[in-house]
Structure formats: C-alpha cells, structure tokens
Amino acid sequence: MSPVAIKTSERSSASTKPKQPTPSNYIPTLVSVDPSRPGEEQANIHTRWHPDIPCVATVPVGKPFRVECLDYSGSQVSNDDSADDVVHLNHDSDHHLSGPFYVPNAQPGDVLEIEILDVTPFPDHNWGYCITAPGLGSLDDVQAETLVTKSIWDFYGNETSSRHVPHVSFQGRPHAGVIGTAPSYAVLADWTKRESELDSLTAGKAGVSLPKTSGAYVGQELDDELRERIYREGARTSPGREHGGNIDIGLATRGSRMYLPVYIPGASVSVGDTHFCQSDGEPTTAIEMAGIVTLRINVIPQGVKKLCLKSPMYRTSPSEPVYRDRLCFTGLSVTADGAQTDQNGLLAYRNAAFQAIEYLQSFGYTREQAYILLSAAPIDSRVVATANRPNFVVSLGIPTEIFDFDILPKIGTGRGEGEGEGDWELSRRRRTIKGPALPSAVITNGAANGFAHEH
C-alpha cells in the first residue's frame, strides 16, 4: 500500500507540537561540570578568593537553583587500589569551586541566608575517597608515622561502605565543605596580613597557605592583567574564614541553613568541596566526592548588625541521620609526657582521638583505617568543659551501630587467664582486615608532594 501524501499545511500541523510550559518546580542548573575531567580544563571553576573574579551567573533570589561541583582536588583522585595519585596530588590548587554567583540586591553589611535543600553525588559517579598522609591532617604522632593511604567509598543511596575499611557501613550526611562569599579588597588585605605574620612568627611551621600563583585557576576569559592580579593576590581556599569558605561543617546537610556576610555588591558566592560524610573535627579528609548542590538564597538587609555576625552561623537540619549509641573517649590538655598545658583545646582533641585510634586498632584495624574512620564516619565530637582550668575537656563519640561486630566493652568476672575473660576476648578478637590502598611510588623525607596543610 502506498503511503498517504500529506499536504504541506497538514504536514506542518502534524509535526508542530505545542510548547510545553515550564514546570512550576523547575530548578535551573547554574554551573555544570564533568567529574571525570581535570578541573583546570573546565569553565566556571576557580581556586582562589578574590573580589575581581567575575560572576558566572545570577542567583534567582528566593528560588531553588542547582550547582554541579567537582571534588576538592579537581578530579585528581581515581577509583582504584593504588595511592600513587595521592602522592602526586597538586595541593597548590586547593579547592576547585563553582561560581562565583551574583546575588541581586546584596550589599556590604547584608547577610545571605543560604538554605541547603539537597546535596547528592552524580548518578554515574557514585563514589568518593578519603586520604591520609604525613602533614595533611591534625593527628600526626611522633610515636607512629602516618602513612600515605587512600580509601574508596561506594554509595548506595544514602549508605556508604569501603572495600578498604571493612566491617563498617553508615548513613551519610552529604554537604558542601566550602560555601563562601568574596572578600572585599580590605578584607583580603587583612587575611593576607595576619596569615603572613603568623607564618613569619612560626617560621613556616603553622602550615599557613599564603597567596601563590602556582595552582591558581579561573576558568573564564580574562585579560592578562586581571588574571595575573587574581593569581598573585588571591587568598588560598584551604582555611575557613569570616566569610565562610572551607569551614567543613558536617552538620550542614540537606535541610540546614548557613548565614554568611556580604562584603562586596552582589556577594559573589561560591560553592564546592562536596562531601558524602564527615566527622565532627575532620582530622584528615572527609569522604570527598563530586556532587550536585541545590540551594536557595535570601538576603537579610543589614544582617551583619542585626545578627551580631562575626563569623558564619548555621542552623541544623531536621533530617540529619543520628546515631544515638556512641562509645565516647575524652581528652585533656595534658601532653603525652605528662606536662600540663593551659587549656590547649587541640591537644585535648588529639588525646581523645589517639585513645579512640588505639582502641580501634585492638580489633585489627590499622592506624590509618582508624584515622580514616575518625574523619569520614559520623563521629560526634564535643567540647565538654572549658571553665575547669587548667584543663580543656573534649569528647569523641564513635557510633557503635556502624560496625558489623560488637565494639562495646564487656564485663568479665575474671582477671587475666580465667573465668569471665572469654567473652571479653571474643568481643575484642583481632580480625584479619585488609588495609587501605598504599602507593607504589617512593615517599621521600617522610612526606608526599608537599603535604603541609589540612583540607
């Protein structure tokens, strides 16, 4: 049978479909990235804070929008069983941030209320990583060298587990480790001045990340003079500051809100460093991932004065996963050789963490696996007491339900060899546990590629 001919007018009518209206719940994506490509090849990414970085899009104030983000390294870490990529990681690049974004009507002295509506991994990039290395985190120990390692974490909905840290799985609390506004010239100068003074005072031992052209990147068309100035003057993204930035708040998950100051017209807000989960305290990296962040921003006029804002505020989420049963370790402001300090809070945290690491090692975990858990899992860290001088008391709580075996202490009736000892020993039986990925590359001078500051 021959096909039926359609008149031109009929053909036009048959092939033209009415334009569908935009759904009322449509959410625009302001920046798109490819998590499999190097960050320095992608548009609308930057690795420094500077007031002159042009905004790449305008925020629809009061309405949701999405931002796609690279992992903090800019896709330098691979999903495999070797830590060679960690050895060769370029830390000068710091965080690869998406943005900045212009917020209409935002003026200096205002505050941005940033609602975190959702944070998810890419559907086809459903994994993350946690790394350890000497000089990277806050738990290096003169009595035990920190090895360069990498653990890969697979995501199953909101649950994660790792082939490199077995017998553990837990619910994530996905969040953006970095959300910040651009500094003004004056604020940028203050940051550079105080951090340079600390670096000089400590002869570089404080691990301050000072401005550096190496690793600086802005994925936009800029004239040479502007690009050179941003690269020369731009503040590094490693530390958190008054504007927000790398404050790494694990509780800033979906349903939470951030309050950040505005320093320049339009705010120039940026986001990145997405995490699947992170402990309170984050002594090394979180579970770093490429992610998609959904936000809604409103402006609080003159909010800095109204909220008495000196540094970022946040409001917790009603939907954060909570583990109620925790085994908690405490730390005091006393050194390993018994010297008393005057309320050294970091020392108290380290003492609690070292005790927890030793306890986890008694079950067969390596030091690095225990270190990873204290940074990647939903660990609860609290400042217990500050008034009882000379000690500062910190606690660190490990959720017992995340393990597939019992980590709780048991009460026995015997001492040493004898009745009542069996149950305790059974609970604490050392397991043959495969360790995290190690590098095949040679590590020189006990450090890998200039690890000198925390991420």
Write the CATH number for 363.
Answer: 3.10.28
Task: At 340, list the tokens.
Answer: 């008393």
The reported pLDDT for the residue numbered 350 is 96
The structural domain count of the chain equals 2
Parallel, antiparallel or unpaired: strands 97-102 and 57-58? parallel
Which of 252, 280, 315 delimits the end of a domain? 315
243 and 199 assigned to the same domain: yes
The reported pLDDT for the residue numbered 436 is 76
Question: Which range marks the domain in which residue 364 is found?
Answer: 326-409+437-441
List, in sequence order, every residue forming a beta bridge with 118; answer none if it has no partner.
Answer: 294
State which amino acid sits at residue 235: A
Find the length of the chain. Answer: 455
Q: Is residue 216 part of a domain?
A: yes
The reported pLDDT for the residue numbered 11 is 42
Q: Which residues of 208-226 are buried (b: 16+ CB within 10 A; e: fewer)?
A: bbebeeebbbbbeebeeee
Phi, psi of 114 (to 5 degrees): -110, 110
Which of 268, 286, 315 delimits the end of a domain? 315
341 and 203 assigned to the same domain: no
CATH number for position 130: 2.60.120.580
Q: Is residue 293 part of a domain?
A: yes
Q: Is residue 46 part of a domain?
A: yes
CB of 178 closer than 8 Å to CB of 203: no
49 and 96 assigned to the same domain: yes
Parallel, antiparallel or unpaired: strands 29-31 and 64-69? parallel
CA distance 329 to 352: 5
CB of 259 closer than 8 Å to CB of 86: no
CB of 281 closer than 8 Å to CB of 344: no
Q: Which strand (E) or helix (H) includes residue 409?
A: none
351 and 202 assigned to the same domain: no
Q: Which long-range contacts (CB under 8 A, 24 or more apart) does 187-191 make?
A: 187/242, 187/243, 187/263, 188/49, 188/50, 188/51, 188/233, 188/235, 191/235, 191/241
The reported pLDDT for the residue numbered 448 is 40
282 and 331 assigned to the same domain: no
DSSP string, 224-283: HHHHHHHHHHPEESSSEETTEES---TT-BTT-EEEEE--STT--EEEEEEES---SS-S
Which of 315, 339, 365 delimits the end of a domain? 315
Q: Could you list the pLDDT tens digit for every one of the 455 residues in the chain?
A: 444 443 444 444 445 667 778 888 999 999 999 999 999 999 999 999 999 999 999 999 999 999 999 999 999 999 999 999 999 999 899 999 999 999 999 999 999 999 999 999 999 999 999 999 998 999 998 788 899 999 999 999 999 999 999 999 999 999 999 999 999 999 999 999 999 999 999 999 898 999 999 999 999 999 999 999 999 999 999 999 999 999 999 999 999 999 999 999 999 999 999 999 999 999 999 999 999 999 999 999 999 999 999 999 999 999 889 999 999 999 999 999 999 999 999 999 999 999 999 999 999 999 999 999 999 999 999 999 999 999 999 999 999 999 999 999 987 655 555 444 455 454 555 666 767 767 764 444 444 433 443 33
232 and 125 assigned to the same domain: yes
308 and 343 assigned to the same domain: no
Q: Is residue 231 part of a domain?
A: yes
CA distance 407 to 370: 13
360 and 284 assigned to the same domain: no
Q: Is residue 7 part of a domain?
A: no
Q: Which strand (E) or helix (H) includes residue 149?
A: strand 149-156
381 and 249 assigned to the same domain: no
Phi, psi of 35 (to 5 degrees): -65, -10
46 and 99 assigned to the same domain: yes
225 and 348 assigned to the same domain: no
67 and 191 assigned to the same domain: yes
Decide: pTM greater than 0.95: no
